[in-house]
Amino acid sequence: QVQLVESGGGLVQAGGSLRLSCAGSGRTFRSVAMGWFRQAPGKEREFVAAINWRSDSTYYADSVKGRFTISRNNAKNTVYLQMNSLTPEDTAVYYCAADRALYGVVLTDIDEYDYWGQGTQVTVSS
């Protein structure tokens, strides 16, 4: 079982930056793939970025490529999402998610993740 808690959201002006954190608990956190998703009002939850368990493979949605960076510190049981050059279109609730399988590959499909955090609001003003 993995419990996830996101933090770091807030209000930022367009062009600004935020770093989201996802703290995980559970013995297997450092051995599973992790992802970030977001959901804007009236829209479906969408994939943002993902990382495998040992940080040698990452994947990004086209909409955030070159602006967002996913990373993890397994010693701290934490995954990060550094978000730069934010635009109002990035406004959403951001969720982190964890796979159940150990030592798996990067996952991009929402249905492939087994554990979810409660989300953190990111609002970008124009």
Residue 108 CA to residue 52 CA, distance in Å, equals 11
Residue 74, both tokens: 């397994």
Binning pLDDT at 50, 70 and 90, where does residue 74 land? very high
pLDDT (average), residues 38-66: 97
Residue 10, both tokens: 């807030």
Of 27 and 99, more confident? 99
Which percentage of the chain shows pLDDT scores above 70? 100
pLDDT (average), residues 50-57: 95
How does DSSP classify residue 30? G
* Structure confidence at residue 1 (pLDDT): 76
* Structure confidence at residue 55 (pLDDT): 92
Query: Sheet of 3-7: strands edge to edge?
Result: 3-7, 18-25, 78-83, 68-73
| Beta strands at 3-7 and 10-13: parallel, antiparallel or unpaired | unpaired
